[in-house]
Amino acid sequence: MTSTTFRIGGDLTVRRLGFGAMHLPTDPGPAREKSVAVARRAVELGVTLIDTAYLYGGGANEELLADALHPYPDGLLITTKVGVARSGPSGEWKLDGRPAVLRDQVEQALRRLRVERIELLQLHRIDPEIPLADQVGTLRDLRAEGRIGRIGLSEVTVDELDEARKIVDIASVQNRYNLLDREHEPVLAACEAAGIAFLPWRPVARGESGARAEIAAVAAALGATPTQVALAWLLGRSPVVLPIPGTARIDHLEENLAAEHLDIPAVHRARLDRLAEPG
């Protein structure tokens, strides 16, 4: 029986199938009202892990979640990401891992999310222009100060993960990974070996038509949707995998969460495993 929960950092229990808030519209009006309804419905359905980032609207996504869900129910983890800012020559988004920028973004996230501590704070990307030790070290210092509880990384290699772990405990890694895109298989293996949560972004495969046909065939055989098959495959791939599918529609949200109850028999799993070669 596949476990439906995972302890991030060894002590923070969440439901493995979470929700990615990136796609929620934040502009005032009916679309925002629907976004609030989707976020609330996710929590009603038992979601305890919601992923957001400063990059998603320059903090607007964080504010939306706070408007929808604060005061937060016990056990709800909203994880956010820092390290991308409008620091380009013309104010465009770029990687920015300068310690002062990371500190400011964490402080702003605390304010927008209306919390005193962010239980899981992720570095959105490693800025190649700033020493990794300075970036991860800043997050380590913020953890020591009680501003964040656990530290995660995103889009990292095995070597980068190893280097970061020499500086501070890493609780999560958020890399692109799905049924048809397994480039980061070595990173998943490293996370599994270390008990680190692996949050695949873009968890629903968008592959070639032939591969999608294979997924559709398995879905038809199991009485499920291709999306549910893709998510159920991830849940069965490794106990450290915590998919965070995103949507702005309640019907899609309910479809996604139902994947938790889909059991993929070995014969079908083997068929799906063959769709992409690891690494």
Q: Average pLDDT, stretch 40-46?
A: 98
Residue 253 counted as domain residue: no
- The catalytic residue among 54, 56, 72, 177 is 56
Task: Indicate if the pLDDT at residue 70 is higher than 50.
Answer: yes
What is the Cα–Cα distance from 230 to 225, expressed in whole angstroms?
Answer: 9
Q: Which CA distances in Å does 197 have to 3, 53, 123, 192? A: 14, 18, 14, 8
The enclosing domain of 104 has a CATH number of 3.20.20.100
Residues 6+ apart with CB under 8 A from 157: 187
Residue 257 counted as domain residue: no
Residue 77 counted as domain residue: yes
- pLDDT bin (cut points 50, 70, 90) of residue 211 is confident
Total tally of structural domains belonging to the chain: 1
Active site includes 56?
A: yes
pLDDT tens, 166-196?
A: 999 999 999 999 999 999 999 999 999 999 9
Residue 191 counted as domain residue: yes
Q: Which CA distances in Å does 190 have to 29, 193, 212? A: 44, 5, 28
Q: Average pLDDT, stretch 266-277?
A: 90
Residue 14 counted as domain residue: yes
Q: What percent of the chain has pLDDT over 90?
A: 91
217: nearest Cα among 264, 156, 278: 264
What is the Cα–Cα distance from 220 to 168, expressed in whole angstroms?
Answer: 46
250: nearest Cα among 40, 17, 27: 40
Which CB contacts under 8 angstroms, 24+ apart, belong to 88-94? 93/55
172: nearest Cα among 257, 38, 77: 77
Residue 158 counted as domain residue: yes
The answer to pTM > 0.75 is yes
Residue 274 counted as domain residue: no
Q: pLDDT value at position 208? A: 59
pLDDT tens, 76-89?
A: 999 999 999 988 78
Task: Indicate if the pLDDT at residue 279 is higher than 60.
Answer: no
pLDDT tens, 92-119?
A: 999 999 999 999 999 999 999 999 999 9
Residue 263 counted as domain residue: no
Element (H, E) at 154: strand 148-154
Write down the residue that tokens 């016990």 correspond to: 74
Residues of the domain holding 164? 7-203+241-246
Burial of 177 (0-12, 13-18, 19+ CB in 10 A): buried
Task: Indicate if the pLDDT at residue 243 is higher than 50.
Answer: yes
